[in-house]
Structure 1
């Protein structure tokens, strides 16, 4: 009987647009409730909550979906979560103020932005230990790795720039000036362009990675936090606006602003590009946007203070 009820619920969610796209889960860092919440996007339901501690903020999941890595600035640590078992698998002391985090495409290396030290810590995923430190600009926040794993980009908030790091030599090879106070940074699937959400100038910088320069700016809402890419468009969380600004990736022209909730922060697109998932800090919600129709189609209650800063979606098949 229970199985039939759950099947009926799943079917109804398909009809309302919640699920039935790619099978994915959202790993949401709830900073004020000190935990990690896992949401099944096919049913728009929470399936697990894992205590983390230390005000968890950043999140990254390796390509095979086996492990999630969570930064805790107050604990000065990274927690390793076994994604399938839904339990803590380890803890790595990194010191400083760990915030943004990214995993190399091969899953062997984890990069952690140290907000206080103008550095990126390098973690060996196998030994779960810090093996190196890379000098970048002041107050590094968001991190992203190119699809080939050769370059690491660090949004250096208080230097109004992006550091480009050679992951082989672990040296900064370029500094790209962008808008004021860049926070989140996102790289497209081809590894050609990067996008920074500039908190201080209320815009998004568009970067040509090969050329090592900014090639455009897009005005968005107040206090943009992070950027997601889907359906040929950029989606930007506007913290103070309670909106997601949408712009065309080809023309860089604004398209629409979507009301989502109070203080939206983390944002990711599903693997099939059909939905955009937004964590709203003040509303304590995870909002689901139809990326083609540009409208909200679902909402899930979260813990207190969801940030989900980073790549927080995990494919389950």
Structure 2
């Protein structure tokens, strides 16, 4: 689904991608990647919303990320403990990187030399060398990590931990946790403000006891400095480049909250349908779609939908 950030209106909805779990706009803003529970990653044209390419993933793909230069894309495969690596323009051929456990969220470092992965089942934050395509480190974090954010200088990673509910700060050079802070409900995604001083945590909670806010965390002191009310079960999170607006998907009430960050309040709510998950931001304004609803055709399903394998409330036990 494409939302006009200027009007908060839905531009178009793209169907045909079963069990979508995460989306990512390319650095140039011309492509949008989405993972399907049918073990497929799709590439859409950001201007026409039509399918450009698709390729195979591992089982239960969770997140897709793109390196800052746009040259490589990576998909975490929660169901089989792998990460798929793709070269620009070639989704048909994937190099499978074995990390073990259940990799979920991921983000690249600013220089693109590494992808940092939240490995929920292993309860580690893993580092993948994007030049050699091997796992180069695994840092125990004391619980299932859901998503990560990377500091502007690439020195630190921040990971949301579902149990106990909190956020940890990891020194990537020393490969260890150096600080942690608690949040009020099991967090899902996290996003770093452009100046690197504040980290946002989407505190989703559970369906039985949902969260309804995001936490603002000072990255130096690792203390919570405030909270902003959202809908029920804040999950996906993105901040636009000026740092003035953020968008949060709310999985339990089917909405997206639009946040004014300087004012620390929600200024709009967009109805989007059942269980919205990932969200990404494009600096290019949306073009007029051919229709209010578009349809794409992917290869036949080869596995169960993503949510059949990925814990809905991002709480898992056991290691691999």
Paired residues of 1:236 and 1:246 also in contact (CA < 8 A):
yes
TM-score, with normalisation over the residues of structure 2? 0.78
| Structure 2 SS opposite 1:179 | coil
8 Å contact kept, 2:204–2:212 = yes
Q: Contact (CA 8 Å) 2:56, 2:94: kept in 1 or not?
A: no
1:228 alignment counterpart: 238
The residue number in structure 2 matching 1:202 is 212
Show structure 1 runs of 5+ residues with no match: 1-15, 276-287, 290-296, 310-317
Change in 2 beyond 3 A, CA 1:124/1:191: same
Partner Cα separation in structure 2 for residue 128 and residue 204 of structure 1 = 34
After superposition, the C-alpha distances for 1:249-277 in whole angstroms (9 at most, x for unaligned) are 001112111011221100011145x56xx
2:81–2:99 Cα contact (<8 Å) kept: yes
Q: TM-score, normalised by structure 1?
A: 0.78
Please say if residues 61 and 306 of structure 2, whose CA atoms lie closer than 8 Å, have aligned partners that are also in contact: no
| Residue number in structure 2 paired with 1:278 | none
Q: How far apart in 1 are the matches of 2:295 and 2:231?
A: 24
The verdict on how the C-alpha distance between 1:152 and 1:55 changes in structure 2, with shifts beyond 3 A counting, is same
Mapped to 2, the partners of 1:196 and 1:249 lie a distance apart of 13
For residue 168 of structure 1, report the CA deviation from its aligned partner.
Answer: 1.5
Match of 1:73 among 53, 56, 78: 78
Q: How far off is 1:159 after superposition? A: 1.5
> Greater RCO between the two (CA within 8 Å, min separation 6)?
2
Distance 2:65 2:294 in 1: 21
Q: Contact 1:198/1:204 (CA < 8 Å) preserved in 2?
A: yes
Q: Which residue of 1 aligns with 2:256?
A: 244
**Deviation at 1:211?**
2.6
- Give the secondary-structure state (helix, strand or coil) at the position aligned to 1:63: coil
Residue pair 1:52, 1:79 contacting (<8 A) in 2 also:
yes
Residue pair 1:120, 1:134 contacting (<8 A) in 2 also? yes
2:227 to 203, 217, 228: 217
Q: 2:34 matched to which residue of 1?
A: 28
Give structure 1 regions of 4+ aligned residues with deviation exceeding 6 angstroms: none
Which residue of 258, 267, 274 maps to 1:255?
A: 267
Report how many residues are paired: 269
